[in-house]
Amino acid sequence: MSSFIPVPDDSDFSFSNLPWGAVRWHDGAVHLATRIGDTVISLNMLRRAGFLADHSSLDDRVFNAFIECGPGAWLAVRTELQTLYRTGSDWEHHGARSACEAPADRVPPVLPVRIGDYTDFYASRQHATNVGMMFRDPENALLPNWLHIPVGYHGRASTVNVSGTEVVRPNGQRKGPNDPLPVFGPSTKLDFELEVGMILRGGPSDGSWIPVDQAEEHIFGLVLFNDWSARDIQQWEYVPLGPFLAKNFASTMSPWIVPYAALSESRCAGAEQAEPKPLPYLEQDRSASHWDIALEVSIAAEDGSETRISRSNAKYLYWSFAQQIAHHSINGCVIRSGDLMASGTISGNEPGSFGSMLELAWNGTRPITLSDGSQRSFIEDGDTVILRGHTERGPRIGFGPCSARVLPAKPWQK
């Protein structure tokens, strides 16, 4: 099926995508929207033109209420958009059409959901192994719980920002292994984390849970996610309760939520989980438990020159998204519509597929050379980190860039 709106071959926003986003419209108001190629379509304006009549929550500024309506409503809106915008539709020459559309570069994106809670998992085996080797013991890199539990921590929803929002380098405490006492100042080990996030529909609130085989019915869609990390602060503070100020100063989310329904042709098998087998509440058919989504990371230096530093894939996750959701809710924890769960850094087996600078430059011991000749062990002020991702099977469906530039730390004063 094709649309009368042209889509460049390399566009992330093919007619099969129809992502969920929010933009600042010409009138200054935030409109919920979708996108075909470089054309943004306001769902609010479509409703004013008489379409999407059953979906009044699309007049909101965020998708939370619409997410609550469930997969039936999500599919109904997708189907109506596909009918309206397919080649040969009467809508192409309708007088009301132009008021519903805008070029993407004229309507800046804003966060499309009010994120109540954000959780970050640690679901890539290679990433957990690499970090364990550097921060603890190379012989016992993977902690004993890791192959049994999708390990995670509660992040901070207040500092999740939409792509394009600048990131201020954090100040904090650090103490190297040879320092007698901690010191305070701007982080010297600012890092990115290449992750995929899920925007979720709420679950039960009566102490019951979301079963693993029904977990995907709660996925509204996926985003790219950069869980910015200050490794020097992290290494000093994380014992025994886990990440805190090293993580919650900023996270960057791609603006367009790729619908769960758009990703059905990109399924692939997940890593086997035989040794050990997960406990029954996490057990899952692995034949199509994952998505084949090619991921990459680039650094753009201040002169604009861009260097791709990693290529990874969402299929490298050990714990699937369904397992993450099932584990998160098994204790009765309430998941609400609009919540965000991110996968954790997704690293492949090869050094060129690692999902953080910590791993790519092996904690500063193997600096990376950028195309302008400069070297990086971590992210420097003025650098822009750009995550990209698109499906490898079926029609090309992508996220658009998840990008943020780093600003210098604010000077501390009493």
Give the binding range for Mn ion (CB under 5 A) out of 187-195, 322-330, 349-357, 377-385.
187-195
Please count the other Cβ atoms lying within 10 Å of the Cβ belonging to residue 219. 20
> Where in 336-365 is the site for Mn ion (CB under 5 A)?
344
Out of 31, 55, 127, 390, the active site residue is 127
Euclidean distance between CA atoms 227 and 342, whole angstroms: 9
What b/e sequence results for 290-323 when a residue is b if at least 16 CB atoms lie within 10 Å of its CB, and e otherwise? bbbbebbbbbbbeeeeebebbbbbbbbbbbbbbb
Closest CB to Mn ion among 101 and 339?
Answer: 339
Q: Say whether residue 232 binds Mn ion (CB under 5 A).
A: no
Closest CB to Mn ion among 63 and 121?
Answer: 121
Q: What is the DSSP string of 232-247?
A: HHHHHH-TTT--STTT
Beta carbon of residue 188, minimum distance to Mn ion (angstroms, whole number) = 19
Beta carbon of residue 191, minimum distance to Mn ion (angstroms, whole number) = 10
Among 101, 227, 339, 359, binds Mn ion (CB under 5 A): 227
Beta carbon of residue 299, minimum distance to Mn ion (angstroms, whole number) = 18
Binding-site size for Mn ion (CB under 5 A) equals 4
> Where in 275-334 is the site for Mn ion (CB under 5 A)?
none
Among 193, 232, 237, 359, binds Mn ion (CB under 5 A): 193
Please give the C-alpha separations between residue 372 and each of 62, 387, 399, in angstroms, as whole numbers. Answer: 41, 20, 27
Euclidean distance between CA atoms 303 and 130, whole angstroms: 32
Contact 348, 277 (CB under 8 A): no
Q: Say whether residue 120 binds Mn ion (CB under 5 A).
A: yes
Closest CB to Mn ion among 101 and 227?
Answer: 227
- Point out which residues pair with 376 in neighbouring strands: 368
Which position's Cβ is nearest Mn ion?
Answer: 227
Beta carbon of residue 162, minimum distance to Mn ion (angstroms, whole number) = 18
Strand 118-121, strand 340-342: pairing = parallel
Helices (H) and strands (E) in the chain, counts: 7, 26
Active site residue 127: yes
Contact 249, 166 (CB under 8 A): no
Closest CB to Mn ion among 123 and 406?
Answer: 123
Beta carbon of residue 394, minimum distance to Mn ion (angstroms, whole number) = 28
Give the binding range for Mn ion (CB under 5 A) out of 127-135, 169-177, 224-232, 402-410.
224-232
- Point out which residues pair with 389 in neighbouring strands: 295
In 180-335, the DSSP E strands lie at: 183-186, 190-191, 194-200, 219-226, 229-230, 251-253, 258-259, 267-268, 290-291, 293-300, 306-313
Closest CB to Mn ion among 289 and 356?
Answer: 356
Beta carbon of residue 297, minimum distance to Mn ion (angstroms, whole number) = 14
Q: Which residues are catalytic?
A: 127
Q: By CB under 5 A, name the binding residues for Mn ion.
A: 120, 193, 227, 344
